[in-house]
Amino acid sequence: LRRAGTTPPFPVAPTSPSAAAPARDNSAVAPEPRLRCTPGDKEQRYGPAREVESSGPVEAGPGACTFDARHLYTKKVCGYGSVRAVSYNILADTYAQTEFSRTVLYPYCAPYALEIDYRQNLLKKELAGYSADLICLQEVDKSVFVDSLAPALDAFGLEGLFKIKEKQHEGLATFYRRDNKHLQCCSALFEIILFMSLGGNIRLIQIAVAMSHIKHVACDLYPSIPVIFCGDFNSTPSSGTYSFISKRCSMSLSHPFKLLSACGEPAYTNYVGGFHGCLDYIFIDRNALEVEQVIPLPSHEEVTTHQALPSVSHPSDHIALICDLKWK
């Protein structure tokens, strides 16, 4: 393989060690990059060379990303009897592109790094590197699901389902590995559970309704099926919502499940200029599942390299939760 130009997989800009988001570096643009490839094998047999030239400019990559170190833990798909689960609020474009977002929520983020064309390529790289069996995404734009994430993750053996929120421009997506037999037998449930997957401003009563629905699915329709309940709950560990789900205190509301936060209570899963806290969880049925491994979150230094999230090296204001689960 001989490269006459550089063709990185996504149009991004170089990082900077400073806290402020770097400006776009137009000097890094290389016009008309060309890629020439000569196929061959270990027997030194070669086919005819082929060449392709880009119709547009190519820019430098983002350098080190917040998820690079995490990929070292997820190089391989889990073995039989285990499931790698990911929960991630990916920041919908409909929210990232408002004037309020650009000037108040994320003023530290370079405008080009808030563009969906930029962020979705970082997302594809990040998600593909997790080798997950189950991916639950929140704040997913329909066009991003249809045109970008679904085709990209399909190439890695993941089937995707999407449900748009009522009267909203974004929704929720669930991807599951087609060749994981534990998930295949449950695939009929995803459409049902996906409808009840929760994002946005969650209140205790909404969670109670959701748990009632999950009880109907897991106890009445499919008795004894394990529960994995994950998402952006917009609730910290000190909230009534978290206490209700994990049964840390007695309430008049109740549910029949024994749920455990598989990734514990991180210092934060959402980090923006004016707030940081733990809002995202992967709750698992402790009677049926146990945690094999929790993939470490990015270091505080990595998260704050460009002051806060999102940034040129991280595509969302949330951080993905990842854990390996094993059936008991």
- Exposure of 137 in the CB half-sphere (CA atoms within 13 A): 31
**CA–CA distances in Å: residue 302 to residues 9, 219, 266, 311:** 22, 43, 15, 11
Tokens 């209140």: give the residue: 203
Query: Using CA atoms, how far apart are residues 190 and 47, in angstroms rounded to an integer?
Result: 45
State the sign of the Cα–Cα–Cα–Cα dihedral 107, 110, 115, 118. Answer: negative
H or E segment and range at residue 114:
helix 111-114
- Which bin fits 264, alpha (ψ -120 to 50), beta or left (φ > 0)? left
Query: Using CA atoms, how far apart are residues 107 and 271, in angstroms rounded to an integer?
Result: 13
Active site residue 232: yes
Centroid of chain to Cα 132: 10
Residue 12 and residue 62 in contact, taking contact as beta carbons nearer than 8 Å: yes
Q: 143 by DSSP, 3-state: which?
A: helix
- Exposure of 256 in the CB half-sphere (CA atoms within 13 A): 13
How is 169-201 classified by DSSP, letter by letter? SEEEEEEEETT-HHHHTTHHHHHHHHHH---SS
Return the structure tokens found at 193: 């559970």
Q: 270 by DSSP, 3-state: which?
A: strand
Catalytic residue from among 141, 232, 317, 324: 232
Q: Which residues are catalytic?
A: 232
